[in-house]
A and B are shown apart, each in its own frame.
Chain A
Amino acid sequence: MSILTWTWILTGGSFALYIYIAYWARAKTTGDFYIAEKQIPPYFNGMATGADWMSAASFISMAGLISFLGRDGSYYLMGWTGGYVLLAMLFGPYLRKYGKFTIPQFVGDRYYSNTARVIALLCAIFVSFTYVAGQMRGVGVVFSRFMDVGINTGVIIGMALVFFYATLGGMKGITYTQVAQYTVLISAYLIPAIFISMQFTGNPIPQLGYGSAITAEGAALLNDPGTQGKYLLDVLNSLNTDLGFAAYTSGQRPMIDVFFITMSLMIGTAGLPHILIRFFTVPKIRDARASAGWALFFIALLYTTAPAIAVFARTNFIKSIDNVEYAQAPSWFKNWEKTKLVAWKDKNDDGIMQLRKGKWDDPKSANEVKIDQDIMVLANPEIAKLPNWTVGLIGAGGLAAALSTAAGLLLVISAAVSHDLMKGIVKPDMSEKEELWWARGGAGVAVVIAGLFGIYPPGFVAQVVAFAFGLAAASFFPAILMGIFSKKVNKEGAISGMIVGIVFTAAYIWWYKWGDPASNNADGWWMGISPEGIGTVGAMLNFAVTYVVSKFTPAPPEHIQDLVGHLRYPGKIVVAAPTGH
């Protein structure tokens, strides 16, 4: 069967499954809609968190990005996993003990202030929309590349599906759909990687394979008998240096910047509302801790495979393209040329493709080959000559990754509108039934807006991911951390801290992306810290301001200090003991 037929079968089958699950798990109460009545077992919650977390970008682009960045790409790998350690130990169990519905609600309650709640809900909506825009676009892109459907038609199909299960099922429907989506996306990611690892090194575990030696079969695939018995990474290092790139396993970016980016991504992860909200959905406090463990386990399965794919694909790509006559180019190269993800320009008119350092359309560079980062995952099975069904699986996996993340984000937006804005501030006396209508309506409107972002992508989408993480790091992370671990931090401190953190981070990113883009380089940055890493500094400022302001303003009322004390122990305890004052 052809690749196209396989893609339609696998995608259609997975969509039918998602719809069935959504119908089966439809929500009846607001508790169901927001937090699935706290009935999700921790391993399912972990799987759903994994699907929520791994977006179209993680699935399609990350391995390719890493293949260009070499060791520097590790800030994505560590930065997008290390936050779960913080979530498990600093946030998850305590937020579960708090037991309400949303993050803005927690911030508002802990800081006994509607102002704090409004700041938090604006941040939550901004961060979530930033993210979701990229997802809907991702859905369209996968449809157009694998199924010959226009990008816009693809976005509309995706919208219809998410609309159905997000408005019907709420958190419960989304969670069980995400469990199915995780299964699809991880199979799609691992199966080609396992095949390729076997081909190159004889080791079925890709995580070990890319640190192993190349077998005779692998050397034959690379058309280079000399590579047999050598470590794959050594072969790639010398390929890289021969073509004028830095050695793959060496770091190029300044250490301070890598440090700050990694930290910003980690604490940004721990401050993202669609991830935090997942800890509300499990039955017990210890389930919240275990959820983080399961989540990171399921995430790490993909995140440790990505660098292996990066190494296999890059080696394979260089070997099958560089110094090869265009007339002899492999069929996948010509297939993917149609999508403009790869291209060739014969600058020296010798009919041979030369892959070098530099831009392919820059006349001064000797490089003749354009490689889009996405090709490393999308075309990987074809490059390794795997069967057609594995290629079809990649399409279904990419859609699962994009749809699951979109759904989780839409729920945060809908809850922020219905629960925090309408029920919490505008109309506190409304009935549960009415609130549920607001929640469904909010999710519906958010789907439509997200779809419009997908069809008419605002030019800034690619640049605002730094924004989303930076803002989450500079606003939520310090506010929640100090809200749990300090009884003395008060509303004046938290509000001024959040405002300083947000304004500083936003201004820094704005300046280098739009204010003075010419100075957006290591020499122009403050202390050599890039806009991607500035969220760390924003968070430090937030901590400092909150601490100092709290010192000089009245301590929180007793019942708030009691609430904080109450968060720290599982069960219904916190015993009243008269202390004489």
Chain B
Amino acid sequence: MSIHATPELQAYWKENLFIIFYHLAIWFTVAYLCGIVFADQLDAYRIGGFPLGFWFANQGSLVIFVVLIWTYVWRLNALDKKYDVYET
């Protein structure tokens, strides 16, 4: 006999994986696509004195990383409550 998580908890894990997936997709896009691969093309656009590709590489990615972690925290806290596994 083996121990298995209930279907609810398997659903919790699946939803978590999906949330991780789209957060990491954004993580990859801003750092690797905007900041490295397409940085030269994006430099044609500017925000203030920053060429856009340079901004993503130098600063924008970092700011977005911070936001990503906090949206993940927020989404997962909501998920914990939805599946009634929120620690008190």
Q: Which residues of A contact B (CB under 8 A)?
A: 71, 74, 77-78, 81-82, 84-86, 88-90, 93, 207-208, 210-213, 231-234, 249-251, 255, 258-259, 262-263, 266, 284-286, 289-290, 292-293, 296-297, 300, 303-304, 307, 558, 561-562, 565, 568-571, 573-579, 581
Contacts and interface: CB of A to CB of B under 8 A. Distances in A.
Contact of B49 (A93, A234, A562, A579): A234
Given A90-B20, A568-B13, A569-B13, A578 B1 contact: yes
Contacts of A86: 24
16 contacts: A71-B54, A71-B58, A78-B31, A78-B57, A78-B61, A93-B76, A211-B49, A234-B49, A286-B86, A289-B73, A293-B70, A296-B69, A303-B62, A568-B9, A568-B13, A576-B3
Q: 10 tightest CB-CB pairs across the interface, nearest first? A: A231-B49, A74-B57, A211-B49, A293-B69, A249-B54, A211-B50, A211-B48, A88-B69, A284-B87, A307-B58
Contacts of B31: 78, 82, 262, 266
A255 B36 contact: yes
Given A71-B58, A259-B32, A558-B3, 9 more contacts: A89-B23, A211-B47, A249-B43, A249-B54, A259-B36, A293-B66, A300-B66, A307-B59, A565-B3
Contacts of B77: 286
Contacts of B44: none
Interface residues of B, number: 49
A74 B57 CA distance: 5
Contacts of B55: 211
Interface string B1-25: 1111110010011001000100110
Contacts of A93: 76
B48 A212 contact: yes
B65 A577 contact: no
A300 B49 contact: no
Contacts of A569: 5, 9, 12-13, 85
Contacts of A285: 87
A573 B73 contact: no
Given A296-B65, A307-B58, A573-B85, A89 B50 contact: no
Interface string B67-80: 01110110011001
Contacts of B4: 565, 576-577, 579
Contacts of B1: 578-579, 581
A579 B6 CA distance: 11
A82 B63 contact: no
A88 B70 CA distance: 9
Given A211-B49, A233-B50, A77 B32 contact: no
A88 B27 CA distance: 12
B52 to A, nearest CB: 10
A577 B6 contact: yes
A574 B13 CA distance: 12
Contacts of B69: 84-85, 88-89, 289, 292-293, 296
A89 B71 CA distance: 11
Contacts of A231: 48-49
B31 to A, nearest CB: 5
Contacts of A297: 66
A233 B59 contact: no
Given A258-B36, A570-B87, A213 B58 contact: no
Nearest to B6: A575
Nearest to B8: A575
B5 A300 contact: no
A147 to B, nearest CB: 33
B36 A565 contact: no
A481 B5 CA distance: 20
A249 B58 CA distance: 9
Contacts of B13: 568-569
Contact of A558 (B2, B36, B47, B65): B2
Contacts of B32: 259, 262-263
B24 to A, nearest CB: 7
